[in-house]
Chain A
């Protein structure tokens, strides 16, 4: 069912049409019968009037009287000699003399006629009146049709009124739907309807109860995230410090290295999962700040320089002054960090990473290029999926990762209504990541 309004309109119209059709059919038949009776009565009356007003008992020379009515009359003597007739009447006896005072249907001149035969006992003669059946039917039909037409014409009018009335009746439902659809993603406040009709009360109450429960769950979830972060970060810190202390103690040598790597990895994956959760579109409350992206890129490179320089990689930044409006500094820092660390991780030692912030066809662009192996076309789509790593388990195990980095980046890019593109770098031969921010001012 596409629309309650349309459904109700058509259902009501169909019912009205069917009911009207049958009552009209019945009314038509009844009216026609009634009209026939009326016409017959008129013929009978006419015959009686002629019988009383005309005294002829012998034939006149001029036997036809001018008479313009649709009906005709004849006066015959007892011996069936024509005494007088109207000029539209035939000159033969159009009746059956055996039965006086009765109606007959006869054929004459290609028409069917309805006649009434009266035997005038006072003057011993026959009076016959008649009229054409088809003309009688025409008149009867005209009368009946005239009374039916307004009813038929009223149906479209009724359709308009019904359409309007249903619309009025459904208005609270429409307002309810509008309120729901206008809700912001993070707006879980209850819906307030004025004059809620009985049928909607339950729906509104249940919806508001659901919204309230969702809101509570949402708050719980946020607390859970903060608690989980604290609960995981503290034991990982403990492990790190304990390992550090063990390394200071020179009793242990190489056997600690895999342990350190495992703890590092655990710490990394925990942070990435929390970060993914924190920046998911349902979770993130975007701050409407104007953020200095150049400063963020500089900070991220500075913070991660130890890692980059440990691989002997060259990193450079070419930047124009560059801000992003309606942005979250924390989210953008996470995004830039993931992209730069990815570039560093997948670029071999002594490689090069080139970062550019510039305007390309009026859009602000962040471009990160590296001299690594790049990504083959067939993998380009899948790298944004969660926990997806190129070549799966055969992924170079020397590189720490969990396949969440680009999923996080994608969330943040979407949060800022930006676009991300992966291409082959023309200058360095590796991967080129473009993050294209929407035009400033939203033109």
Chain B
């Protein structure tokens, strides 16, 4: 059951990702010019924006796995979903922290009820709830189905939360429009985006591998019933 066709691939991706992140961060921190209005504070964008893209990507990957599990009942999608959700939660948490670090010098507060920030926080708690659910369900079939269902429900909620917070907040203040990004900012942004993408993919692959090993152990037939239960695993 454990997919081990390319056992070295995650480590290659991890290395590649670290190289990209190091190069992108060097360019972003020392080479790219400081932004006109915000100065050096803006440099957090080189890691913040790629984190946001990849967090959405990881959650979307979890949704795809959830749908595929419900349609195929193939265990590998359950293991991949677990990897996707966990890495997505980690990235969403980092995103909230980076947002707060950026907001303090820029807006003067740690937290702002900006639609993107608030949606990320809601998303983080929704998916943390799914991880908690997975911990409490002992039956692997129920755990896989229920967390797939919960993932679909939570994912559908994301655009609704976004628009509701946007309407809610627009009553207080106008949305700040994202400044157009100049050419010299592109390279570090892209390098970091690919860096995080590679690291994230490696983490998801490794995490899914652990999850399927665990599943294999859970689904293994008790020694007495060996013949009768064999086809389950």
Instruction: Tell whether A and B belong to one assembly.
Output: no
